[in-house]
A and B are shown apart, each in its own frame.
Chain A
Amino acid sequence: MPADKQRLEREVVAMRVAKELPDGGYVNLGIGIPTLVSGFVAEDSVVFYHSESGVLNCGPLADEGEEDIDLINAGGQFLQPVPGMVFFSTVDGFAMIRGGHVDVTVLGAHQVSAKGDLANWMLPERGVGNIGGAMDLAAGAKQVIVAMEHTDRHNHSKIVEECDYPITGKACVSLIVTDLAVMQPTEQGLVLKEVAPGWTPEEVQELTGARLILAPDLKEYEL
C-alpha cells in the first residue's frame, strides 16, 4: 500500500523549495514547513526575507534567552538582530507584497487545486479562522509556492480538482512541493514534475485527488 510507504521528511521538502528561491530575491515565508526553508538556502546565495510584520532582511531565529518581543516575524517567532535589517509599518509591508516587490512567497495549505487555487485559511468544520496576510500574499507575490504534506491526517489528498474549502486565492499557486512530489498547476491541469525516491508516478496518483499529467522530463525529486 502506498499509504504505508516512507515519505520525505519536512526538512527535505523545505530543502527542495529552497532551490526555487532566486539569488538576490525578496522572499516571504509562511508558517509550517515554509519557515524551515531559510535553513537550506545555498551558502553562496543571498535571499532577503520579508515579513509583513514590518521587517526586511530578517535574520535567523533568536537563541533561547535572547528573545526580544519587539523583534518578531509575522509568525510570532523571535528574530536575531542582524546588520542590514530594516523596520517599516504594516501598510508598507503589504505595499511590498501587493506592489509586486516580493518575488516569492512560500505558504502552507489545506488544499490546492489542479488549477492552482489555494485554500489555507479556514477548515470548514471550524467555520471560522484567521486569515492573516495570506490573501494579500496570494494576490500580490510574483510567485506563490506551496510547501505541505501531500495528504491530511486522515490520509485524504490535499491536492484536489476543485477546492471545497474556502479559498485564499484563485489560480495563484505556481508550484506545489509535497513529501511525495513536485507539481505544477497549469491551465491544462496538474503536471507531475518530480516524485519522491522509491515512489512511482502511479503510487503518487493513487494518493492525489486530481488527475496528474506526467511531465515529459519527469524525474526523481531533485535536491
Chain B
Amino acid sequence: MEKVEEKFEPKIAAFVCNWCTYTGADLAGTSRLKQQTNARLIRVPCTGRIDPVFIIKAFENGADGVLVSGCHPGDCHYNAGNFHARRRWIFFKELLDFVGIDSSRLHFSWVSASEGKKWVDVVDGVINSVREKGPFTQYKKINREFEIPLETESKL
C-alpha cells in the first residue's frame, strides 16, 4: 500500500477573554469571515484570570501552540485586569524562552469585540507560524511517560 504522508495540523489552545476577544471571534463567525479551524477557544472572564499554569497545562495536553488574547489596554471590563496580565506575560514569555519554548509557540494579542477581521488575521497568523514550526515534539516526548506504552497494549 502506498504510504500517505499525513500533513501536520497544529493544535492551538486559545485563551480568550469573555468581553473582547471571545465576542470578537463571535463577530468573525457571524460576519462569515473565513478562518482556519485549528484553534480551540477557551473562554475566561479576563486575561487577568489566566494563570500561566493554564498555558503549561495546554502544552501538557498536547497543544502545539498557545494564543492568549484579551481587551486592548484601557478597555478592560474590570479596569485593570489586562494591565496586570501584561506585566506577568513579560516575565512568563521570557521564562519559557529561557527553558526552550520560544515565541513561535506562545502568542499574545489584543482583539476587541468589534475586531472580527483582526481576530481572523491573528488566529491565521498563529496557526501558520505554529504549522511552520512543526509539532511540539519536545513536550510530546516528555508526555510519553503518561501514555499507554505500545508493547503493553499489544499484549492484550
A pairs with B: no
Q: What is the interface of chain B, defined by CB distance below 8 A to chain A?
A: none
Q: What is the interface of chain A, defined by CB distance below 8 A to chain B?
A: none
